[in-house]
């Protein structure tokens, strides 16, 4: 397996705050890794280290084989960074913003203009190309920001919360652009607070919370492994909840209950007929019996709040 | 497990990864960007120019009578001081502009590019020097309309500009430190007015030091602004030159020794 980004044991503290604690990341070339976590999880810290803006206190990281500390200059030639907040010059027009980056990278005036115009075209900003960026909407700024990180045709790009604060339309547009880059063979590490975004874009997801990895895997396995579907049974007569609980435990192995429901996480929805049959045999009248699929948000909440010690590691092979 | 670069580069990338260029060209690009900003907000030229012009006007018509008896006599004294004030205020612009880049995140983008780390600083200093030239040109032009005269030789403007440049370059390092450290451009502005304006008034830029109380004279004497104002006076309207210029250069050296290491450390430290 060749990895475009590989980090082992990355650690970083700011005074008393442990921003990252021994984080491992592996991103195969040409794929998208979604780094997922709530506020303060350490997403930006990880991106800054990988993009050579900050040095790790421990561990090491390589981008396309180059050490981000010892070969920072080499790494900078290969990456593009779009930070959490749009880094554009509001006093310049869209074209000038991109030409600025192009010329810094050594393109001639004509080349840099051509690249700028191409990118603006691709990002749907052609009409606003000559307007100063302070007149841009939030979504346009984000797109310009992303365009700026592509001027140098990077092979690896880091996107820190690229769609935060965008309306659904602008978000979809940005997703399309990101997919386009992936299709070109670019490797992407993107951070997000939204599972849906990771689900849409990422080949693999790493969930971090308070600086540590709490889960990782494909979107599919995460949903399956962490958020198994829940079976809910509500008897008509709540006096019979005890009996229902026994039956559910016999079939599914465990249960939780409240005043009205008996619930259990199920691995295999095939147990449903068995439960129905056993309840029937026991003569229990059922008011409600259902399977609820886990929502991604539940998975996320479960991972990032229900495990204060951050010990629940789900790793897929 | 080894990490290997993918063999195939993106097929139709917008451009081949460009070649490395020198720090000079990169600095030039950073300066270019700042001058292009002016194209979009030409009022910047006015902002930078209006302050010295207002001062000349005020000095010529409001203060001149009380200070020196005649407009001409006072302008001959005060214009060199105003040149120094412009220099100091442009340095404040350097700090504010830099801080805007830092707080807006543009600075991080520049740091993630394969360019020289000092190019963003050098480019900014260069662009702000162009602004300084503009403001000095306005200042001199307007002063001359109101009867200021260069009584030595016109060619004295050249060494004067050189000295002004050395001074502004040296002071820039302090400004850059402020720009890197402050949490917002507004804070830099406040800092600039809190430090730089008093600095220009606690000098003999506008008032002969002899009229001040003794303790104040002591401050005025060691104020680099005084040294530069005296140098410019000597160069443009006559008087001692060698001594104030030497003092100015020493003051610049002190500024550089004090701030270059501090500023570079702050600059290279991650944020
Ligand atoms: N420069 C800094 N100085 C001090 N503490 C910092 C600094 N940068 C980050 N931290 C702390 O490190 C932790 C991780 O921050 P980080 O910005 O990486 O989180 P994040 O996942 O990007 O959060 P968000 O979703 O809010 O952007 C936080 O507790 C933060 O307060
Ligand atoms: Mg962040």
ipTM of the complex: 0.83
Higher pLDDT, A103 or B267: A103
What is the rounded distance in angstroms from the CA atom of residue B238 to the CA atom of residue B253?
25
Which helix (H) or strand (E) segment holds residue B147: the answer is: none
Interface touch B106/A88, C-beta < 8 Å: yes
Write the CB contacts of B173 (distance below 8 Å, at least 6 apart in sequence). B255, B256, B259, B260, B263
Write the CB contacts of A103 (distance below 8 Å, at least 6 apart in sequence). A109, A112, B29, B32
Interface probe, candidates B22, B32, B93, B113, chain A, greatest A C-beta count within 10 A: B113
pLDDT of residue B216: 83
CA–centroid distance, residue A190 to ligand 2 (Å)? 11
Tens of pLDDT along B94-115? 999 999 999 988 999 999 999 9
CA-based nearest residue in chain B for residue A61:
B3
Give yes or no for B32 touching A (CB within 8 A): yes
pLDDT of residue B143: 92
- State whether residue B137 is helix, strand or coil: helix
What is the rounded distance in angstroms from the CA atom of residue A155 to the CA atom of residue A181?
10
In ligand 1, which atom is closest to the CA atom of A37?
21
Higher pLDDT, B51 or B164: B164
B54: distance to nearest CA of chain A, Å?
26
**Do the beta carbons of residue B47 and residue B134 sit within 8 Å?**
no
B16 pLDDT higher than 50 = no
B93 pLDDT higher than 70 = yes
B15 pLDDT higher than 70 = no
Q: Among positive and negative, which fits the CA dihedral A165, A167, A168, A172? A: negative
How does DSSP classify residue A307?
-
**Do the beta carbons of residue B203 and residue B223 sit within 8 Å?**
yes
A80: distance to nearest CA of chain B, Å?
7
Band the pLDDT of B74: cuts 50, 70, 90.
confident
Write the CB contacts of B105 (distance below 8 Å, at least 6 apart in sequence). A83, A84, A85, A86, A87
Q: What is the mean pLDDT of residues B263-267?
A: 89
pLDDT of residue A221: 80
Q: How would you write the pLDDT of chain A (317 residues) with one tens digit per residue? A: 689 999 999 999 999 899 999 999 999 999 999 999 888 999 999 999 999 999 999 999 999 999 999 999 999 999 999 988 888 999 999 999 999 999 999 999 999 999 999 999 998 899 999 999 999 998 899 999 999 999 999 999 999 999 888 888 888 988 999 999 999 999 999 999 888 888 889 999 999 988 999 888 888 887 766 667 788 889 888 888 888 888 888 888 888 888 888 888 777 767 788 888 888 888 888 888 888 766 656 667 777 665 444 333 444 44
Interface touch A185/B11, C-beta < 8 Å: yes
Q: From A10, A11, A14, give the residue whose CB has the most ligand 1 atoms within 8 Å, as the site to mutate.
A: A14
pLDDT of residue B106: 92
Q: What Rg do the C-alpha atoms of chain A give, in angstroms?
A: 24
Supply the mean pLDDT for chain B.
85
B50 pLDDT higher than 60 = yes
Task: Pick the ligand that lies closest to the CA of residue A19.
Answer: 1
Name beta bridge partners: B120. none
Verify whether ligand 1 is closer than 6 Å to residue A155 (CB atom).
no
B19 pLDDT higher than 70 = no
Smallest Cβ–Cβ distance between B109 and the set A29, A106, A148 belongs to A148
pLDDT of residue B242: 92
CA–centroid distance, residue A208 to ligand 1 (Å)? 13
CA A167 to chain centre: 18
pLDDT of residue A225: 64
Any alpha helices (H) in B59-117, and if so which ranges?
64-68, 71-104, 106-111
Q: What is the mean pLDDT of residues B158-172?
A: 95
B3 pLDDT higher than 60 = no
- The label of the residue with tokens 């900078």 reads A76
- Other C-beta atoms lying within 10 Å of the C-beta of residue B65: 12
How does DSSP classify residue A187?
E
pLDDT of residue A71: 93
Interface touch B18/A2, C-beta < 8 Å: no
- Taking alpha carbons only, the member of B225, B204, B192, B214 closest to residue B97 is B192
**Do the beta carbons of residue A266 and residue A228 sit within 8 Å?**
yes
Which helix (H) or strand (E) segment holds residue A62: the answer is: strand A58-63
Please state whether B129 falls in left (phi above 0), alpha (psi between -120 and 50) or beta. alpha
- Other C-beta atoms lying within 10 Å of the C-beta of residue B104: 18
Verify whether ligand 1 is closer than 6 Å to residue A14 (CB atom).
yes
What is the rounded distance in angstroms from the CA atom of residue A285 to the CA atom of residue A263?
17
pLDDT of residue B9: 41
């Amino acid at each position: 397996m060749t990895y475009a980004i590989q980090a082992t044991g990355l650690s970083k503290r700011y005074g008393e705050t442990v921003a990252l604690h021994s984080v491992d990341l592996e991103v195969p070339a040409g794929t998208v890794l979604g780094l997922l976590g709530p506020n303060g999880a350490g997403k930006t810290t990880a991106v800054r280290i990988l993009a050579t803006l900050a040095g790790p206190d421990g561990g090491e990281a390589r981008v396309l084989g180059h050490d981000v500390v010892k070969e920072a200059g080499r790494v900078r030639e290969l990456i593009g960074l779009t930070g959490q907040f749009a880094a554009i010059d509001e006093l310049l027009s869209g074209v000038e913003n991109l030409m600025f980056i192009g010329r810094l990278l050594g393109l001639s005036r004509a080349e840099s203009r051509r690249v700028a115009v191409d990118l603006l075209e691709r990002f749907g900003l052609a009409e606003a190309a000559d307007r100063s960026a302070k007149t841009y909407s939030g979504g346009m700024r984000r797109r310009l920001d992303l365009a700026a990180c592509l001027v140098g045709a990077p092979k690896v790009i880091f996107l820190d919360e690229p769609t935060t604060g965008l309306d659904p339309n602008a978000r979809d547009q940005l997703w399309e652009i990101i997919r386009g880059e992936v299709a070109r063979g670019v490797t992407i590490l993107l951070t997000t607070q939204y599972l849906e975004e990771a689900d849409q874009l990422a080949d693999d997801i790493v969930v971090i919370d308070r600086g540590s990895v709490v889960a990782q895997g494909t979107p599919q396995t995460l949903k399956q492994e962490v958020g198994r579907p829940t079976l809910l049974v509500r008897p008509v007569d709540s006096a019979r909840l005890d009996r229902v609980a026994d039956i559910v435990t016999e079939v599914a192995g465990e249960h939780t209950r409240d005043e009205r429901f008996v619930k259990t996480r199920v691995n295999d929805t095939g147990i449903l007929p068995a439960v129905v049959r056993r309840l029937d045999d026991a003569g229990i009248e059922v008011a409600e019996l259902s399977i609820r699929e886990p929502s991604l948000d539940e998975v996320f909440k479960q991972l990032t709040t229900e495990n204060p010690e951050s010990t629940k590691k789900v790793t897929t092979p | 497990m080894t990490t290997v670069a993918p063999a195939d580069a993106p097929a139709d990338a917008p451009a081949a990864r460009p070649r490395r260029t020198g720090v000079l060209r990169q600095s030039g690009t950073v300066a270019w960007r700042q001058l292009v900003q002016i194209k979009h907000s030409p009022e910047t030229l006015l902002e930078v120019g209006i302050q010295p012009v207002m001062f000349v006007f005020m000095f010529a018509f409001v203060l001149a009578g009380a200070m020196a008896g005649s407009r001409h006599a006072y302008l001959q004294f005060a214009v060199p001081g105003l040149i120094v004030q412009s220099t100091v205020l442009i340095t404040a612009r350097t700090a504010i502009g830099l801080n805007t880049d830092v707080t807006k995140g543009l600075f991080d983008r520049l740091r993630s590019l394969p360019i020289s780390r000092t190019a963003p600083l050098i480019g900014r200093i260069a662009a702000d020097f162009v602004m300084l030239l503009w403001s000095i040109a306005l200042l001199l032009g307007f002063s001359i309309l109101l009867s200021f005269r260069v009584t030595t030789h016109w060619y004295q403007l050249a060494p004067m500009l050189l000295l002004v440049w050395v001074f502004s370059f040296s002071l820039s390092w302090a400004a850059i430190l402020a720009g890197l450290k402050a949490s917002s451009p507004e804070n830099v502005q406040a800092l600039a007015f809190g430090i730089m304006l008093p600095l220009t008034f606690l000098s003999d830029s506008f008032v002969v030091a002899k009229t001040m109380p003794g303790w104040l004279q002591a401050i005025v004497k060691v104020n680099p602004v005084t040294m530069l104002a005296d140098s410019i006076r000597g160069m443009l309207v006559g008087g001692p030159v060698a001594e104030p210029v030497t003092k100015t250069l020493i003051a610049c050296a002190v500024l550089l020794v004090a701030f270059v290491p501090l500023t570079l450390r702050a600059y290279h430290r991650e944020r």
